[in-house]
Amino acid sequence: MVETSRHKHIKMIMQIFIYIFCIFLALMCVIPFIIMVVNGTRSTVEIQQQAVTLLPSVHIMDNIQYMSLGVFNAWIGFKNSMIVSVGATACAVYFSSLTAYALMAYDWRLRQPFFTFILAVMMIPAQVSAIGFYQFVFRIGLTNSLLPFIIPAIASPTIVFFMRQYLLATFSIDIVNSARIDGAKELYTFNRIVLPMMKPAMAMQAIFVFVSSWNNLFMPLVLLTDYNKFTMPVMVSQLRGNIYRTELGAIYLGLTLSVLPLFIVYFSLSRYIIAGVQLGGIKE
Amino acid sequence: MNKKKLIALLLASVMSVSLLAGCGNDSGTSSTGGESNTSSSSTSSTSDNKTINVWSFTEEIPGAITRFKEMNPSFDWDINITVVSDQDGAYETALEQALLAGGANAPHLFTAEQAFVLKYTQGGFSGDLIPLKDLIPDFASKLAAADVAQYAVEVGTRNGDIVGLRFQETGSCLIYRRSLAIDTWGTDDPAEISKIVGPGWDKFLSAAEDLKAKGYSIVAGDGDVFKAAKDGAKQGWITNGKITIDPLREEFFDLAMALHENDYMNGSVDWQDNWYADMGGTGIRPVFSFLGPAWLINYVMVGNAGDTFGDWAITDSPVPFTWGGTWVMGTTHIDGDDKRAAVGQIIEWLTLDTTEDGFMYKFANGTLNDGVTGAKDTVASAVVMAKSDGTLEYLGGQNMYDYFIPAAAAAKSDNWIEYDRLINDWFADQVRQYYNGNKTKEQAIADFKQRITDELGFTE
Amino acid sequence: MKHKNFSYAKYGYLFCLPFVLMFLTFSLYPLIFTTSIAFTDRAGPNVAGREYNILTTTVIDEAGNEIEETDLFGNFRLLLNNRGFRNSFGNTLIIWSINFAPQVLLALLLAAWFTNRRTSIKGQGFFKVIFYMPNIITAATIALLFRAMFLFPKGVVNDTMIQWGLMEAPKNFEVDPWASRLIIAFIQFWMWYGYTMLIFISGIMGINPEMYESADIDGANAFQQFFYITLPNLRTIMVYTLITSLIGGLNMFDIPRLYSLGGPDAKTQTSSLFIYGQAFEGTYRYNVASAASIMIFIIIACLSVIIFYLMRDKDAAKLKKIQKEYKKAQKLAQKAGDK
């Protein structure tokens, strides 16, 4: 009995330690957001004089008014960003899962070479080949189209790699085999039996793809020059105004606005991370 | 086996098709490029459409052109405006791709900032620019009549042809606190102060000593001084393909060290909180002066003035220099004589029109938008500045053009090169390493040269 | 129904087809373009597009009496002798090693806490969500905020340190190479530990819960469960984390560029920054940039092979097991068909 009470004691201290530690980390994660939101209520001069503060100011209406002067249109930005991010996420997650499944469930001659190839593609430094991509898009006339931001996501080597590693740890061919005996078609098996098993991994990757796709700035800046095709970050970049005067307050407000949808998506997908969806079907 | 072969064949064919598609488009683009070239060299023609494509990196010029259309209802051309923010060079990348792609969507008129203008007026893309005399009738006489600063014209000149001009003048002055001047020397008269702080850096440093005795810093940080110091040089960083360090630029090592060692500056870095605080007199010590053009006053200093509003004045910089500026250019992609005339009309209105209806007069007097009094800014034409009202409350009622007109005339650009933006940064970085005691001057210079060799390929 | 010699292999090819097609369409051309240019003399601002017809030309070297010789690897040789390139690679390794180990360890620790069914920390869902948040803000905003914190002569960090008596005079962090490296490493750590944690959590959640249940019955404590069940089963995900972190680390770009522009004294200039500078700034030495990319690619590939080798056994065993099961199942299916 003494033994267990001491254990409980240690456990308590451990718990307290964990909480303090987590709260500390959480604060560090949240403060930049607060600063960003607060700066959205401050004037350019206030931000110039002191960029980091937790005290809001009274200039939010001025910033909103400045936003409404130029081409900034949150609605168009949201719409285009949504199309791009949802499209890219769906393409990347579904087709990567499919490719990873092909790498795991079937025994084909080029399987190993293909996996090596995917890894190799993943390792190519992106900076330089970007210019080749721009040229290609310019030549096939897909500038001012949202397609170049969506379709190429079908070939996402990093996500294939993740899905494959995930399947490697969790997948068992028996389930597929039992489905086959039932006479299920292969794609049907994948969609109905394998995909649900991969939900936690898919939710994770969906969040990552969505966030990076949403925040992508440089490529849309170069390839989208028509106001009606601007994504949200490009819209925010238009808030800079005169060359020598940057409207910092409006930019922070724009940044805050552009992050809001990310929160919604993140929190709605995060239930898969929080709830701890256990994999069905693995139990033998 | 057969199926495998089939798939392999399929893959191979897809691959070759995509390659062919690439090549096919290659030839397609280059041939249209050729066509547009021939059409532009033909003697008389009309354009296919009534659209002028304007590219810029901020809303400023597109806004002005919209205003131009409002003022000239008979100007029946559609303006297709593209604004790409130049974050991480995105504007340059997009512009260059659009110039390369050519065709109906190619830029007809675009703008470039000082940091990258030479790449377009004299560097790799200068072939895409059309001489302004081909766009604007009587160009030479109009240019002479406007009295534009020579250095700015030189920057926009390609092999003797002027291809770019600007509307804004950025010749710079010393902007100083009147009250601190009176406290230190008993006068705030710009003519007197000009003799105390300059010309040259020796006088500047002795003035700094006087100010220090009163508890003031002469400047906020070394960045303020460097902008002027580098422009005093006779030679650019690269001359005849070799790395050159002009003695006047090398002197900056000692100048910065003197400022640092003797506590003549606050140590603030430009565009950071402390720099802005220094503009309002709320930094670690009151700062006597800043060095810069009119836009620094209008867009940066006035907003941050706080209690010091009205306590400022301008006088000659110890060394003449300029900072920033936007050039306007027309491209060879303009099809048809009528469109060339229309683009010429816009460029003329922006950069050469000295009348009260011209853009520059409105810009200089802050009257671009009817009824709204905007910031007054220096303009390319000295003629326009001379007949404009440059008095600012911020400067205690001083007419800023009294000093900005000579500043423009004194500035030089013959030591500018295409790679200045990078090399200046590397140089300032090494100077900071030196005066903060991280390395010797010799080592810093050696590292500086090595970096130019490593990153740009030039040698001594 | 007879299923003799029926092979599912075609589905392997079929399901990979979308990936392959998209790769060929959008990535192949940039890739070939980039790679081929490394062996050419292509440089200058407009070169990327204008003379694309002769991608395969090689550098012509003048050797002695105007004898023209092809010099395929000239750019690579230039890079090996380039102090800037070597320096940038060294910086990359330094900054990556500083942030990598703490990042993985903290992520693992948090993942272990949050998936431990016995301690079940209250509000863990909240923490999981919050810790990923630094990854949501753009790198530009983060760099801006950190710069604002480390300002000189007055700034949040300087003021606090002096107030607490940790420093006597304000420190100019911006000119101190090691301070800048540490700050960048910290930003990287702070931005990515939540991501790594989520990856680990998803991996742990994929582990068959029965394993823990039987461990509970056997009386294994939390530590034992972590080391004997969680870690070994996390190996495949660990391989993923190591490889992607290696790739991400050696391609580190945003933060060093936005926070310090590679400075001071080029001590935070990473390989990616060097490559970017070569390709898109200054003299636009696109060929050199391309050669440098290939070299970095080779280095990453070699290091990845090492990681795979070190972590191989489980992977291979698992694959073999699946293969075996697969064959068994085929036989079974055959039998079923025969009936």
**Over 80: is that where the pLDDT of A178 sits?**
yes
pLDDT of B394-414, one tens digit each? 999 999 999 999 999 999 999
C105 touches A: beta carbon within 8 Å: no
**Over 60: is that where the pLDDT of C44 sits?**
yes
B43-164+335-359 against B173-321+391-456: fold identical: yes
Task: Write the DSSP string, C134-187.
Answer: GGTS-HHHHHHHHHHHT-SSS-HHHHHHHHTTS-SS---GGG-HHHHHHHHHHH
> Residue B1, Cα to own-chain centre: how many angstroms?
66
**Tell me, what's the pLDDT at B27?**
34
Quote the DSSP letter at residue B133: G
Angle (CA) C140 C272 B242, round 5°: 110
- Could you tell me the two tokens for C119? 């301690």
- Could you tell me the two tokens for A166? 């995930």
**Over 60: is that where the pLDDT of B23 sits?**
no
Domain boundaries, chain C: 75-338
Cα distances from B390 to residues B168, B362, B402, C106, in angstroms, run 14, 12, 8, 61
**Tell me, what's the pLDDT at B381?**
94
Long-range (24+ apart) CB contacts under 8 A made by B381-384 are B381/B146, B381/B147, B381/B148, B381/B352, B381/B354, B382/B146, B382/B147, B382/B148, B382/B149, B382/B408, B382/B409, B383/B145, B383/B146, B383/B147, B383/B354, B384/B146, B384/B354, B384/B358, B384/B360
**Tell me, what's the pLDDT at B18?**
42
**Is C252:B416 a contact under the CB 8 Å cutoff?**
no
Q: Which residues contact C325 (CB under 8 A, 6 or more apart)?
A: A172, A173, A174, A177
Q: Grade residue B53 by pLDDT with cuts at 50, 70 and 90.
A: very high
Which of A148-152, B135-139, B365-369 bottoms out in mean pLDDT, i.e. has the lowest? B365-369
pLDDT of B111-148, one tens digit each? 999 989 998 998 878 888 999 999 999 999 999 999 99
pLDDT of B257-284, one tens digit each? 999 999 999 999 988 889 999 999 999 9
Please list the residues that pair with B79 across neighbouring strands.
B52
Percentage, residues of chain B above pLDDT 90 = 70
- Could you tell me the two tokens for B103? 């065709």
CA-CA distance, B411 to B154, in Å (whole number)?
12
Cα distances from A65 to residues A38, A43, C82, C100, C202, in angstroms, run 17, 12, 52, 44, 44
Q: Grade residue A237 by pLDDT with cuts at 50, 70 and 90.
A: confident
**Tell me, what's the pLDDT at A130?**
80
Average pLDDT over residues B373-387: 89
- Could you tell me the two tokens for C216? 């509970």
Burial class of residue C161, CB neighbours in 10 A (0-12, 13-18, 19+): middle
- Which phi and psi angles does C196 have, rounded to 5°? -60, -40
Q: Grade residue B294 by pLDDT with cuts at 50, 70 and 90.
A: very high
Pick the closest to residue C135 from A211, B395, B86 (CA basis).
A211
How many beta carbons lie within 10 A of that of residue B414, not counting itself?
Answer: 12
**Tell me, what's the pLDDT at A243?**
60
Residue bearing the bigger pLDDT, C36 or C15: C15
Average pLDDT over residues B82-92: 85
Among A4-18, B56-70, B445-459, C232-246, the range of highest mean pLDDT: B445-459
**Tell me, what's the pLDDT at A271?**
74
Question: Which of B15, B30, B100 has its CB closest to that of C24?
Answer: B15
Contact A222 B84 (CB under 8 A): yes
B109-113 vs B51-56, strand pairing mode:
parallel
CA-CA distance, C144 to C166, in Å (whole number)?
25
Q: Report the domain count for chain A.
A: 1
**Over 60: is that where the pLDDT of B25 sits?**
no
- Could you tell me the two tokens for B297? 């006053």
C260: nearest CA partner in chain B: B429
**Tell me, what's the pLDDT at B372?**
58
**Tell me, what's the pLDDT at B38?**
37
Average pLDDT over residues C119-144: 84
- Domain region containing A99: 71-275
**Tell me, what's the pLDDT at A3?**
56
**Tell me, what's the pLDDT at B232?**
86
Start-end of H helices in B122-186: 139-146, 150-155, 178-185
Pick the closest to residue C283 from A39, B86, B350, B456 (CA basis).
B456
With beta carbons under 8 A apart, name residues in chain C contacting B455.
84, 274, 277-278, 282
**Tell me, what's the pLDDT at A160?**
95
Q: Which residues contact A46 (CB under 8 A, 6 or more apart)?
A: A57, A59, A249
- Could you tell me the two tokens for B263? 């506590």
ipTM attached to this prediction? 0.85
**If DSSP codes are grouped into helix, strand and coil, which group holds residue B283?**
coil
Q: Is residue A4 part of a domain?
A: no
Task: Write the DSSP string, B328-346.
Answer: EEEBTT--SHHHHHHHHHH
Question: Which of C31, C205, C239 has its CB closest to that of A165?
Answer: C239
Q: Is residue A43 part of a domain?
A: no
Pick the closest to residue B93 from A218, A106, C72 (CA basis).
A218
With beta carbons under 8 A apart, name residues in chain C contacting B119.
45
Superfamily of domain C75-338: MetI-like (1.10.3720.10)
Q: Grade residue A52 by pLDDT with cuts at 50, 70 and 90.
A: confident
CA-CA distance, C202 to C110, in Å (whole number)?
12
Contact C21 B273 (CB under 8 A): no
Distance from CA of A36 to the nearest CA of B (A): 16
Q: Grade residue A219 by pLDDT with cuts at 50, 70 and 90.
A: confident
Which class in CATH covers the domain with range B43-164+335-359?
alpha beta
**Tell me, what's the pLDDT at C296?**
93
Which of A49-58, C102-111, C264-273, C325-334 bottoms out in mean pLDDT, i.e. has the lowest? C325-334
Pick the closest to residue A92 from C200, C13, C19 (CA basis).
C19
Q: Grade residue A244 by pLDDT with cuts at 50, 70 and 90.
A: low
CA-CA distance, B222 to B290, in Å (whole number)?
11
C residues 126..165 contacting B (CB < 8 A): 140, 147-148, 151-155
Q: Grade residue C210 by pLDDT with cuts at 50, 70 and 90.
A: confident
- Could you tell me the two tokens for B419? 């790679």
Domain boundaries, chain B: 43-164+335-359, 173-321+391-456
Residue bearing the bigger pLDDT, A270 or B221: B221
Residue type, B455: E
**Tell me, what's the pLDDT at B33?**
35
Angle (CA) B345 B347 B351, round 5°: 125
Pick the closest to residue C239 from A194, A122, A99 (CA basis).
A122
Start-end of H helices in chain C: 9-22, 28-37, 47-50, 74-80, 83-115, 124-131, 139-149, 156-163, 177-205, 209-218, 222-225, 231-233, 235-250, 254-255, 271-280, 286-310, 312-338
Question: Which of A102, A168, A211 has its CB closest to that of C318?
Answer: A168
- Could you tell me the two tokens for B253? 């090592």
Average pLDDT over residues B42-63: 81
Q: Grade residue B178 by pLDDT with cuts at 50, 70 and 90.
A: very high
Distance from CA of C279 to the nearest CA of A (A): 7
Which of B175-189, C181-195, C267-281, C319-333 bottoms out in mean pLDDT, i.e. has the lowest? C319-333
**Over 50: is that where the pLDDT of A277 sits?**
no
**Over 90: is that where the pLDDT of A177 sits?**
no
A254: nearest CA partner in chain C: C141
Binding partners of B (≥3 Cβ pairs within 8 A) = A, C
Q: Is residue A12 part of a domain?
A: no
- Which phi and psi angles does B314 have, rounded to 5°? -125, 150
**If DSSP codes are grouped into helix, strand and coil, which group holds residue A167?**
helix
Question: Which of A135, A234, A241 has its CB closest to that of B58?
Answer: A241
CA-CA distance, A38 to A11, in Å (whole number)?
39
Q: Grade residue B370 by pLDDT with cuts at 50, 70 and 90.
A: low
> For residue A252, what is the domain's CATH number?
1.10.3720.10
Q: Identify each DSSP E strand in B249-330 by its residue range.
A: 289-292, 312-316, 326-330
Burial class of residue B451, CB neighbours in 10 A (0-12, 13-18, 19+): buried
Q: Which residues contact B10 (CB under 8 A, 6 or more apart)?
A: none
pLDDT of C274-292, one tens digit each? 999 998 888 888 889 999 9
Pick the closest to residue B40 from B135, B176, B146 (CA basis).
B135
Residue type, A168: L
Average pLDDT over residues C85-97: 95
Residue bearing the bigger pLDDT, B447 or A225: B447
b/e string for C245-260 if b means 16 or more Cβ within 10 A?
bbbbbbbbbbbbbbbb
How many beta carbons lie within 10 A of that of residue B374, not counting itself?
Answer: 13
Contact C138 A255 (CB under 8 A): yes
Q: Grade residue C6 by pLDDT with cuts at 50, 70 and 90.
A: low
pLDDT of C141-190, one tens digit each? 888 889 888 998 888 899 899 989 888 889 999 999 999 999 999 999 99
Average pLDDT over residues C230-250: 89
With beta carbons under 8 A apart, name residues in chain C contacting B22.
29
Rounded to two decimals, the pTM is 0.87
Q: Grade residue C29 by pLDDT with cuts at 50, 70 and 90.
A: confident
Q: Which residues contact A262 (CB under 8 A, 6 or more apart)?
A: A210, A211, A214, A215, C136
**Over 50: is that where the pLDDT of C95 sits?**
yes
User: Which DSSP helix (H) or strand (E) runs through B174?
Assistant: strand B173-177
Average pLDDT over residues A54-73: 85
**Tell me, what's the pLDDT at C58?**
42
Residue bearing the bigger pLDDT, B7 or C208: C208
The residue to which tokens 């310019």 are assigned: A138
**If DSSP codes are grouped into helix, strand and coil, which group holds residue A25?**
helix
- Could you tell me the two tokens for B234? 């006779």
**Tell me, what's the pLDDT at C119?**
66
**Tell me, what's the pLDDT at B371?**
56
**Over 50: is that where the pLDDT of B4 sits?**
no
Q: Is residue A14 part of a domain?
A: no
What is the CATH architecture assignment of B173-321+391-456? Answer: 3-Layer(aba) Sandwich (3.40)
Q: Grade residue B425 by pLDDT with cuts at 50, 70 and 90.
A: very high
Task: Write the DSSP string, B388-435.
Answer: S--B-TTTTT-BTHHHHHHHHHH---TT--TTHHHHHHHHHHHHHHHH
Contact C319 A177 (CB under 8 A): no
Task: Write the DSSP string, C228-266.
Answer: IIIHHHTHHHHHHHHHHHHHHHHT--HHIIIIITT-STT
Under an 8 Å CB criterion, which residues of B touch A?
Answer: 4, 21-22, 25-26, 28-29, 57-60, 82-85, 87-88, 90-91, 93-94, 97-98, 100-101, 105, 113, 273, 276-277, 280, 282, 295-296, 298-300, 303-304, 324, 326
Mean of pLDDT over chain B: 87
